[in-house]
Structure formats: C-alpha cells, structure tokens
C-alpha cells in the first residue's frame, strides 16, 4: 500500500469509530476486508488510527471537524507536513479542497488547554486535583504511544540472559528503573510473541508500573499464600507466583482468567484459579479493582472519550464493595493491597479514606501513585493493615 492508501484506510476506520463502532472492531473489520494489506501496512494503519484517537480533540481543532479526514489533516498540520499524493486516484483520499489547503497553510492557533492536552473538558479539574503541577506533563505523555515492557520471569531466567537472548532475535531491551525485572523494549517489539523466551515462559508482557505494584505489595505482605482478588488476565498473579508465593486467583468474571492456567504452566508458576467465590481468611490479598483505566489510556485511548461522570460514580461504588469484601477475607494481622490503574483521586485516595471511615480498626500503612512521568502506566497502590 502507498502512504496515501494507508491514510485513506485510516480515515475510513476513524469514521467508523466516530460513528460509534469500537476502534478495535473497526480495525479488525478493515483488516478482514483488505487481504492485500501486508503486516507492515496493517501496523502503519493501526499506528495512524491510534494516534488520531489519542489526539482527537487537538487534531479535530486543527483539522476543522470531527471526521476521519479532518483528524488526519489536523495531525498533518501539527507535524507541519501537508499530506502527499491525495489525488483521489486508486486508493488515495480525495484531493484537498481550497479550504483545506488554506487551513493547512495557516499558522496553527493556540488551543485551549484541555484541547491541547486532548483531555475531556469535565475531567481536566479532576486531573489537576490528583496531579497538581504535573498535570500538563502527564497528559502530554498520554497523547503519545506507550512504551512496551516485559517482565523477566525470575523463577526461570535472569535479566542479563534475557536481554542477550532477545538481542539475538533482533529485539533491543534495557532494564527499567521501576522494577528489578522490568525490561523496556526499544526496538522490534512486535516480534516478542514469536520468540522462544515468550513461548517458554521466560518473559511475560506486563507494564513496568504494574510490576512495581506487585513488588511493592510483596514487600509489605506477610509470609504465606496470596489471594489475587481481581485477577483479570493474571499478570500480577504470575508476578507474585514468580517470587515464590502460592497464589490463588479470583475474579468476579471467571472468563477473564481463561488463559491463566496455560500462562502459569508456561511460566512454571504455582497459581490456583478459583471458579467460585473466595472464602476463608488470607494473610495477604491484592485487589486490583476495576477502574477508569485512566492511567493506561494511551494504550486504550478510545476509553478516554467514552468515559463519563456517571461511569465514574458507578465504579466508585464497585470499588467500595470490593474493598469491603476483601476486608472480610483478610486475616488478623493481614495486609490488603488496593490497586487501580487510575490517576483519579475519587478512585484512589478517596476510596481509601471512605474504607477507613467504614472500618476504623484498619490502618493505612502506605500509599503510592505512579504516573506516566515515571516511565510506565499510571497506577495507585494503598497498603491497608488489619491489626
């Protein structure tokens, strides 16, 4: 595909997304209908689409409309690089109109702060309240593509050996300061899933801040078994098991854990998957609760635009119920780790404060927030102790 044909595909996909179709579904639909597109074409189209989704407000403001075509023209205006070969011939987009040509040639205006930061208007005060003077730096990073990380399985490999093994596969990796086992992939990340290191369980795909959450929790957790109460796909359960803990994984929707047994087997990890409700008393529980995902919106940028105040309120109620359920499962002297991949105070500090008001016998040992400025996704962890 020519660059212009890739842009035509991207603007059509963006139009489907803007009309209400999930962006992943729109990409899949295009790929199935475009068998002629090679892997490089699919990757290029995907990258272009996701950049436009991340930078929707600023691109629309510079492009003059909320259409796929205007978003791509807005990105071109940001880059100071008018699109080439928009001739309308073959698979290329239609030629630029006189208005579009004039817009691209005009100096870019100064955009309102929320628009320039590609933030929904109603959320900017919430980010300011949570992040203070770091807000603009964090939201600017959220406009860009997220780094790719893997976790070295400490039970099966060492960091230096994995770096060398990946280098032999043409994949560049470097140690990341957020975790002793986190590697940032700096070249050829798309090859990772085809490597022996991945197939044989020496590495797992996991954000560096997510790894830091698991390590910080382990440092505080008493010896003994661990209950991962909101296990989801099981990334943190595997990280905990790699450190030698006996881990039991639970999730309100067990189908989310369907791949966990195979992943645990590949990694040589000891993880028991619960099919029903959790029971008993546990010395250590980690609850990575459902949340807005605002700390990882650069990985799933369409979620940013679909999020609402009503959804936030509903999530806070779910988070309260999870904390109360975990409190009943925590043994005396135990530790409950409450985590989210959110940057917002209502889902983090406010939920912890509400929990402590309902459970005055509990104590907050520590809480920590990781932001994208630390290198990974945004995460929050509170360590709660039951005397």
Question: Domain check: are 60 and 30 in the same one?
Answer: yes
Instruction: Give catalytic residue positions.
Output: 341
Share of the chain above pLDDT 90, in %: 97
Residues 199 and 337 in one domain: no
Measured CA to CA, the distance from residue 119 to residue 54 in angstroms comes to 9
Structure tokens at 309: 């105040």
Q: What is the mean pLDDT of residues 262-285?
A: 95
Contact indicator for 104, 82 with CB cutoff of 8 Å: yes
CATH code, domain carrying 220: 3.40.50.150
Contact 211, 191 (CB under 8 A): no
**Tokens read off for 268:** 């040589």
310, 255: one domain = yes
Residue 21 lies in a domain: yes
Cα torsion 52, 145, 8, 110: sign: positive
Rounded to an integer, the average pLDDT of 98-113 is 95
Q: What is the pLDDT of residue 362?
A: 98
Start-to-end CA distance of the chain, whole Å, equals 64
pLDDT over 90 at 271, yes or no: yes
Does 218 score more than 90 pLDDT?
yes
Shared domain check, 288 and 174: no
Does residue 279 share a domain with residue 178?
Answer: no
Residue 122 resides in a domain: no
Q: What is the CATH number of the domain that holds 198?
A: 3.30.70.1170
Contact 356, 377 (CB under 8 A): no
12 in a domain, yes or no? yes
Average pLDDT, stretch 115-137? 98
Measure the CA–CA gap between 340 and 30, rounded to whole angstroms: 33
At 14, list the tokens: 């963006």
Same domain? For 330 and 190 the reply is: no
What is the extent of the structural domain holding 177?
A: 148-205
- SS3 category, 276: coil
CA distances from 185 to 19, 144, 191, 211, 333 (A): 35, 16, 10, 15, 40
Q: Is residue 376 part of a domain?
A: yes
Q: How far apart are CA 300 and CA 188, in angstroms?
A: 21
- Residue 208 phi/psi, 5-degree rounding, is -65, -40
Six-digit token string for 146: 């997220």
Do 153 and 239 lie in one domain? The reply is no
Task: Tell which of 185, 205, 225 closes a domain.
Answer: 205
Between 46-60, 77-91, 150-164, 342-356, the lowest mean confidence (pLDDT) is in 77-91
Backbone angles phi, psi at 326, to 5 degrees: -70, -35
- Identify whether residues 107 and 179 lie together within a single domain: no
- Considering the domain architecture, whether residues 240 and 367 belong to the same structural domain is answered as yes
Determine the average pLDDT of the residues in 342-371. Answer: 98
Average pLDDT over residues 245-268: 96
Looking at the structure, tell me whether residues 246 and 377 fall in a common domain.
yes
For 19-64, the pLDDT digits (tens) are 999 999 999 999 999 888 898 999 999 999 999 999 999 999 999 9
Tally the domains of the chain.
3
Which pLDDT does position 6 carry in this prediction? 96
State mean pLDDT over 113-137.
98
Is residue 142 situated within a structural domain? no
Whether 90 shows a pLDDT value over 90: the answer reads no
Domain boundary, last residue among 161, 184, 205: 205
Q: Quick one: 252 exposed, middle or buried, by C-beta within 10 A (0-12, 13-18, 19+)?
A: middle
Task: Let me know if residue 92 belongs to a domain.
Answer: yes
Give the distance from CA 73 to its chain's centroid.
27
Q: Are residues 218 and 192 in the same domain?
A: no
Average pLDDT, the chain: 96
Q: Is residue 80 part of a domain?
A: yes
**Which of residues 205, 236, 254 is at a domain's end?**
205
Rounded mean pLDDT of 300-324? 98
Decide if 20 is inside a domain: yes
- 217 and 176 in a common domain: no
| 84, pLDDT greater than 90 | no
Q: In the predicted model, is pLDDT for residue 357 greater than 90?
A: yes
CA 96 to chain centre: 36
């Amino acid at each position: 595909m020519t660059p212009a044909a890739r842009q035509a595909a991207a603007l059509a996909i963006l139009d489907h997304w803007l009309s209400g179709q999930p962006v992943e579904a729109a990409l899949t639909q295009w790929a199935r209908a475009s068998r002629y597109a090679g892997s490089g074409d699919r990757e290029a189209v995907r990258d272009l689409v996701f950049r436009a989704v991340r930078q929707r407000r600023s691109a629309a403001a510079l492009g003059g409309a909320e259409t796929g075509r205007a978003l791509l023209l807005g990105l071109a205006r940001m880059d100071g690089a008018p699109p080439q070969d928009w001739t309308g011939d073959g698979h290329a987009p239609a030629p630029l109109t006189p208005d579009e040509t004039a817009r691209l040639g005009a100096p870019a205006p100064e955009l309102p702060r929320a628009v320039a930061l590609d933030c929904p208007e109603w959320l900017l005060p919430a980010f300011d309240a949570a992040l203070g003077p770091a807000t603009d730096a964090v939201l600017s990073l959220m406009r860009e593509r997220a780094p790719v990380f893997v976790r070295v399985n400490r039970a099966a490999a060492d960091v230096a050996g994995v770096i060398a093994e990946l280098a032999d596969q043409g994949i560049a990796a470097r140690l990341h300061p957020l975790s002793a086992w986190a590697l940032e992939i700096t070249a050829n990340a798309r090859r990772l899933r085809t490597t022996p290191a991945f197939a044989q369980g020496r590495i797992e795909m996991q954000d560096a801040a997510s790894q830091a959450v698991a390590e910080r929790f382990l440092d505080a957790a008493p010896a003994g078994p661990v209950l991962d109460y909101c296990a989801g796909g099981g990334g943190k359960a595997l990280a905990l098991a790699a450190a030698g803990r006996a881990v039991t994984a639970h999730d309100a929707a067990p189908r989310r854990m369907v791949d966990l047994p195979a992943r645990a087997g590949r990694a040589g990890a000891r993880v028991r998957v619960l099919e029903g409700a959790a029971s008993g008393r546990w010395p250590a529980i980690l609850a990575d609760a459902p949340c807005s995902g605002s700390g990882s919106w650069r990985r799933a940028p369409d979620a940013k635009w679909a999020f609402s105040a009503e959804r936030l309120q509903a999530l806070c109620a779910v988070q309260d119920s999870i904390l109360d359920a975990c409190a009943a499962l925590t043994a005396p002297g135990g530790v409950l780790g409450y985590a989210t991949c959110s940057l917002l105070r209502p889902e983090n500090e406010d939920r912890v404060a509400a929990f402590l008001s309902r459970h005055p016998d509990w104590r907050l040992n520590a809480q920590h927030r990781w932001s994208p400025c630390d290198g990974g996704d945004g995460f929050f962890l509170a360590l709660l102790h039951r005397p």
